[in-house]
Amino acid sequence: MKRFFWSWFIWLNSLFVLVIANTESFLVKVPKDFPVGTSNHIDDQFPLRISLNNSNHAKETIETHIGEVNPTYIQLQHLQIDEVYQVKICWTALDPVSIDEMGWFIVPHSTSLQGTTSEEARIFIKFTITNDSYPTMKPGTMVPINVSVINCKLGVPVDLYKTIVYIIAVAVSAVLLNRKYSLYDLLRH
């Protein structure tokens, strides 16, 4: 019995490690004094950008290449002042890469970043992709990376609200069914 328990424990633990290995996340808090431009203005100078215009959740798939020396920069647009956002960076297990040096920063107005300048302050996220396979993948191999930006309300990302409602509905249903039928007796026989 102990052997069975430990084999299942190791198997489940390895599944959790696989899930964790393909997602990295961090939080971005927009300062109270961050200057906000017009809501309809789209700064299209920077090639990689994610806009949350009239939305609480946005996802973009970007194509990065193994062997690039520079980090990947993505501009975040239409963020709300004094809000917290979760940034999730995901990739498939078919592409054994590591995401390092994740973070975010503010570029002041009229400051150049990779050849682009804006009259407004901008928020960027950055990360680097390193090869983590053996044998190593060829330089220039394209790796798709999903980047999601999710607004957090009450400390919880808004995309988890549906899951929380579902869990509560299942728990309430189980309690109500248990009152009408003895679930313990039904499962025991």
Q: What is the mean pLDDT of residues 123-146?
A: 84
The predicted model scores a pTM of 0.74
More confident of the two residues 136 and 12: 136
pLDDT value at position 99?
Answer: 85
Convert 44-71 to b/e letters by CB count within 10 Å (16 or more is b): eebeebbbbeeebebeeeeebebeeeeb
More confident of the two residues 44 and 23: 23
Q: What is the mean pLDDT of residues 131-138?
A: 78
User: Tell me: the pLDDT tens digits for 93-130?
Assistant: 888 888 888 899 888 777 767 777 777 788 889 988 88
As a whole number of angstroms, the distance between CA 41 and CA 77 comes to 9
| Residue 57 structure tokens | 């959740």
pLDDT value at position 86?
Answer: 94
Asked if residue 43 has pLDDT above 70, the reply is no
